[in-house]
């Protein structure tokens, strides 16, 4: 896993060599000499000088710390990595470098990413499939190009409408999709969470509609698979 905060996710009392080599130690994947050689290889892979393995995290910049976190995630040779907003805490000038590094590693090692982010432009750039979440539930899931070109769920439409267009003329002419009301709290959300005032348009979603599926567009709405034929309540009552 690659964490959001490159400062808090690294133990300040451990050297870079110990941080990157800790997964190898925990999983008994190499002896001491093997761990040191593997750490040097991983640091070089992510663009960090291998000779700095005896330094501490405070001696590195934010972008370098995130590279160290990526090296740690690669230590056990995974096939799947969760990227929890890996660039949100970085400077704008460093974000493109980290994104390019992640894409390079994906091609080199055949990795699959679960990329969590709020920056829709970054999601569009790096993702193959996109899932939109509202109040902790997936409300729309589709291929990248399909979702960005023809969003179906009102909340997805509102999100994409909020993305600025780098063209003053086009920005002035477009009509943003405005959601009515406010998002309820997760602890007190209504039964039809996908149909709350902040994510509802009267002509598209009714008060009782919780799931809509479309085979033609190749997507699912409400988080259910496309071949699902049975309507389920949004929040089944708990027993006991």
Phi, psi dihedral angles at 167 (to 5 degrees): -145, 110
Choice among 50-59, 97-106, 205-214 with the minimum mean pLDDT = 205-214
List the structure tokens of 139.
């409300």
pLDDT in the model for residue 180: 63
Which tokens sit at 222?
Answer: 């409400």
* CATH class of residue range 1-127: alpha beta
Residues with Cβ within 8 Å of residue 212, at least 6 apart in sequence: 152, 205, 221, 222
pLDDT tens sequence across 157-212: 888 888 877 778 776 777 767 666 666 666 666 555 454 445 444 333 333 333 34
- CA–CA distances in Å: residue 42 to residues 47, 49, 216: 9, 10, 45
Got the DSSP string for 87-114? TTTS-HHHHHHHHHHHHHHHHHHT-EEE
Q: Phi and psi (nearest 5°) for 14? A: -110, 150
Domain positions in the chain are 1-127
């Amino acid at each position: 896993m690659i964490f959001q905060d490159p400062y808090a996710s690294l133990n300040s009392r451990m050297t870079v060599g110990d941080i990157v080599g800790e997964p190898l130690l925990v999983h008994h994947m190499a002896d001491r000499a093997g761990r040191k050689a593997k750490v040097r290889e991983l640091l070089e892979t992510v663009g960090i000088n291998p000779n700095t393995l005896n330094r501490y995290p405070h001696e590195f910049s934010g972008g370098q710390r995130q590279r160290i976190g990526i090296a740690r995630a690669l230590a056990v040779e995974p096939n799947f990595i969760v990227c929890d907003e890996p660039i949100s805490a970085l400077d704008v000038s460093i974000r493109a470098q980290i994104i390019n590094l992640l894409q390079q590693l994906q091609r080199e090692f055949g990795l699959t990413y679960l990329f969590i982010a709020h920056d829709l432009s970054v999601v569009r750039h790096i993702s193959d499939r996109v899932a939109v979440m509202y109040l902790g539930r997936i409300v729309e899931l589709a291929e990248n190009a399909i979702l960005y070109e023809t969003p179906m769920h009102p909340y997805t439409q509102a999100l994409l409408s909020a993305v600025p267009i780098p063209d003053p003329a086009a920005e002035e002419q477009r009509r943003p999709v405005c959601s009515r009301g406010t998002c309820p709290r997760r602890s007190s959300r209504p039964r039809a969470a996908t149909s709350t005032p902040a994510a509802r348009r009267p002509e598209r979603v009714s008060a009782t509609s919780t799931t809509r599926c479309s085979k033609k567009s190749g997507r699912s709405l409400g988080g259910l698979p496309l071949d699902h034929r049975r309507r389920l309540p949004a929040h089944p009552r708990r027993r006991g």
